[in-house]
Amino acid sequence: MEDSQPLITENVKGHNSYTFTCVRNPYTRILSSFFDKICGIQRNGKRYRGNLVPLLIQKYGIEVGSPEDGFEFDQIKSFRRFLLFARDTIKYRRPMDPDIHWSAMSGHISTFIVNGGRYDKIFWTEQFNDGMQDVLNGIETPNAIDLAEIPRFNESEGHGPKRLHPVEDYFDDLSMHLMYEIYKKDFNLFKYDFDNPANKMPIAEIDLDEVHAKLGA
């Protein structure tokens, strides 16, 4: 595997391959992280990252329910406490380093850019078909690809509680303040609507030059 590193580095810095990534609305993304990773049971039948959930219960008073009780708990109260935990991991790196599932997307994307990469396309999960079709239109594939015929599934679905309330109900003024503290760049660069958690759709086009300028510094 180490032999591949110079080849990958050369490819990235030389921009020899079409490069793209996909982003998601920060409000729905962190809610999914909470329900899938914190409340849900993983495919191996265990909780995510072993002692993480007991740590959250002890230090932040979070409830997650269990399959035995039908995952009954106060979702809004527990999510807001989880949001405090997520902020602490991102801003203070305690009680642990931030997890990739809730750390800012701009941070992931910046890593690629500062190491010499450049994106040809950044598209939204919320308009996945359109964005992925743009990618396919920009490259040559050995075989024709029909997006509509590709099977899709959510491997985390069905392993935890269902979200009981509209997205906006989980975010009061304090929660929105924390969201902006954590995801300011994500909202601004990827053009999501910070002021309205109920609107998961982007409100403007992504400016690739702006993304590279602000994340490559």
Over residues 194-201, mean pLDDT: 98
pLDDT above 90: percentage of residues in the chain: 78
**Token pair in block for residue 144:** 């024709």
Alpha-carbon gap, residue 88 to 102, rounded angstroms: 12
Mean pLDDT of the chain: 93
* 176 contacts 194 by C-beta, under 8 angstroms: yes
**pTM for the predicted model, two decimal places:** 0.91
Amino acid, res. 114: V
List alpha helices for the chain, DSSP H: 5-14, 26-33, 52-60, 75-91, 105-114, 128-137, 173-190, 208-215
Over residues 50-59, mean pLDDT: 90
- Tell me the pLDDT tens digit for each residue of 11-53: 999 999 999 999 999 999 999 999 989 988 887 878 888 889 9
pLDDT at 153: 77
* 160 contacts 154 by C-beta, under 8 angstroms: no
pLDDT at 156: 62
- Tell me the pLDDT tens digit for each residue of 72-88: 899 999 999 999 999 99
- Tell me the pLDDT tens digit for each residue of 132-186: 999 999 999 999 999 989 988 776 666 778 899 999 999 999 999 999 999 999 9
